[in-house]
Amino acid sequence: MAFRQFGAAATITVALALATPAHAVTELQWWHAMTGANNDVVNKLAADFNASQSDYKVTPSFKGGYADTMNAGIAAFRAGTAPHIIQVFEVGTATMMSATGAIKPVYQLMKDAGEPFDPKAYLPTITGYYSTSKGDMLSFPFNSSSTVMWINKDELKKAGIAEIPKTWPEVFAAAKKLKAAGHETCGFSNAWASWVHIEQFSAWHNVPIGSKANGLDGFDTELKFNSPLHVKHLQNLVDLQKDKTYDYAGRANGGEARFASGECAIFLTSSGYYGTAKSTAKFDFTSVPMPYYPDVAGAPQNSIIGGASLWVMGGKKPEEYKGVAKFFAFLSDTNRQAKLHQESGYLPITKAAYEKTKADGFYEKNPILQTPLKELTNKEPTENSRGLRFGNMVQMRELWSEEIEAALAGKKTAQEALDAAVARGNAMLRTFEKTAK
C-alpha cells in the first residue's frame, strides 16, 4: 500500500481532534514485455489512468521479452509474489488456461466488480483467441497484431523494382535485385521465425499447423507442419540464405532494427512494429499483406493474431480486483482505443474503435494501419486459420526455431528439420496433455 497524507497537524491536540484517516491508494502491479515506442505507450496509459482517479495506482514494470515475462509471472505466482496483471503473448494462452487457481478469468472479474462488460463489443477475430468455447473471455486483449511485410519504398525504387511483391516468388526475385543493387547482407528477412514461417504461413495458405483445429478443439492435437508445402518453403529459404538473398534475423524481434537502418529493405514482422518504424526509419516505407505461393489453391486465406493479452493473477483481494476491472474499463474506452490503435499500430480491440477510425478517414491517410485488419478479415476463417492453442507453446517455438536454424546452417535437410520439429513438438504436447487433465 502507498499512502497519501493530506495536511499536517500543528499540534498533537489539533491532530487528535481534527485529523481524518489518510486516503489509501491501492497499488496494482502490471508486468509487461513492451520495448521502445510501445513501452512509452504502456507508461502513458498507466499515468493517464492514475490521473483519472485517486483510488488506484497502476505501476508498470518491464520484465524482458514475452517468454521472460511469462516465466517471471509463473515463478512469482508460485512464490506468492505475483503481480495483479501480466502481459502474456498469444501462444501462452493454453498454458495460462490450464493453470487452475493461477488466474482470475476476465469475464468473472468484471462481473464480480460490477463493471459494464459486453464481450460482443470487442472484435471477434481477437477475442475468440482468448475465450472459452462458450465465449467467456479469459484474458483482456491488449496489443493484438498480425504479421505484415514492411517495405522500404525508396530502396525498391533504386533497385528498379516497380511493383511491391505480392507472392513469395516475387519476393525472392525482388530480394535478388536488392542484393545486386547494394544490399549485400540482406535481400529480405523477418523477425519471429516460427510465427512467420510456420504459424502465419500455415493459416495464410489454409493448411493445418496441427489437428483438432490447431488445438482449439482439444489438447489431444498433433502437429502437421512437415507437409510438402512447408518443406518447399523452408528449402527456398535455405537456398537463398547461402548468398544472403535471405538472411535469418533471429527467433524474436531483435533483428527489426535491420529494417529501420535500411539494411533489409523487405522485412516480415508484426504490424505492431509501426510505432518504432515511424520513429526510427528515415525513408519512405509502407506495409503490405504477407506474400503467398500462387499455386496453392485458395491462398491467401486469412491471418491469425499475434501480440498479447492481459491476464489477471489469482489470489488477490477484492478491492484490488475492483481496481483492475476499472483499469480494463478505462482501456476499453472508444476514443482511447482508437488513439492507441492509430499511434501504436496494434489493432483496435473494440468494434466501436475500429468504426470510429474508419469514420474519421484515418485509413485513407494511413493505409499501413489497415493492412493487418485486411489480412485478418480476408476470408471467413477455417479450421486451419481460426488461430492456435497448443500447450507448452513457448518451449515449442524455441525447438521449432532450433530446427529451422539447423536447416539454414546446412546441418539438416528441410524435410529432416521439419520432421524433427513435429516429432519433438508432439512429445511436448503429450506431456502437456497429461498435466492439463
Helices 393-408 and 414-436: angle between axes, nearest 10 degrees: 170
Q: Is 328:115 a contact under the CB 8 Å cutoff? A: yes
Give the position of cell 477475430: 125
Please compute the mean of the pLDDT values over residues 215-228 and round it to a whole number: 95
What one-character DSSP code corresponds to residue 384? Answer: T
What letter represents residue 78's amino acid?
Answer: R
Please compute the mean of the pLDDT values over residues 331-341 and round it to a whole number: 94
Query: Which pLDDT does position 36 carry in this prediction?
Result: 86
Per-residue confidence at 422, pLDDT binned at 50, 70, 90?
very high
Query: Which pLDDT does position 149 carry in this prediction?
Result: 98
When comparing pLDDT for 15 and 334, which is higher? 334
Rounded CA-CA distance 244/34 in Å is 30
Query: Which pLDDT does position 22 carry in this prediction?
Result: 55
pLDDT of 169 > 90? The answer is: yes
Nearest to 77 by CA among 45, 57, 54, 99: 99
Percent of the chain, pLDDT > 90? 82
Q: For residue 284, how many other CB atoms are within 10 A of its CB?
A: 12
Rounded CA-CA distance 113/406 in Å is 51
Please compute the mean of the pLDDT values over residues 343-365 and round it to a whole number: 92
| CA quadruple 167, 168, 169, 173: dihedral, nearest 10 | 100
Per-residue confidence at 210, pLDDT binned at 50, 70, 90?
very high
Rounded CA-CA distance 100/83 in Å is 17
| CA quadruple 112, 117, 123, 129: dihedral, nearest 10 | 10
What confidence tens digit (pLDDT) does each residue in 229-273 have? Answer: 999 999 999 999 999 999 999 999 999 999 999 999 999 999 989
Radius of gyration of the chain (CA): 23
Model-level pTM? Answer: 0.85
Helices 334-344 and 318-331: angle between axes, nearest 10 degrees: 70
Query: Which pLDDT does position 44 carry in this prediction?
Result: 96
Rounded CA-CA distance 287/307 in Å is 17
What confidence tens digit (pLDDT) does each residue in 26-69 have? Answer: 999 999 999 988 899 999 999 999 999 999 999 999 999 999 99
Q: Is 175:188 a contact under the CB 8 Å cutoff? A: yes
Please compute the mean of the pLDDT values over residues 155-164 and round it to a whole number: 98
Cell of 132: 472459452
Beta bridge partners, 115, equal none
Nearest to 259 by CA among 235, 231, 279, 232: 279
Per-residue confidence at 224, pLDDT binned at 50, 70, 90?
very high
- Alpha-carbon distance values, 179 to 160, 161, 238, 327 (Å): 12, 12, 16, 49
Q: Compute the mean pLDDT over every residue in the chain, rounded to the nearest whole number.
A: 92
Strands 306-313 and 147-152: unpaired
Query: Which pLDDT does position 181 carry in this prediction?
Result: 98
Please compute the mean of the pLDDT values over residues 345-361 and round it to a whole number: 92
Provide the residue count of the chain: 437
pLDDT of 16 > 80? The answer is: no
Per-residue confidence at 437, pLDDT binned at 50, 70, 90?
low
Which H/E stretch holds residue 149? strand 147-152
Could you list the beta-strand ranges (E) of 8-64. Answer: 23-32, 56-62
Query: Which pLDDT does position 128 carry in this prediction?
Result: 82
Query: Which pLDDT does position 23 carry in this prediction?
Result: 66
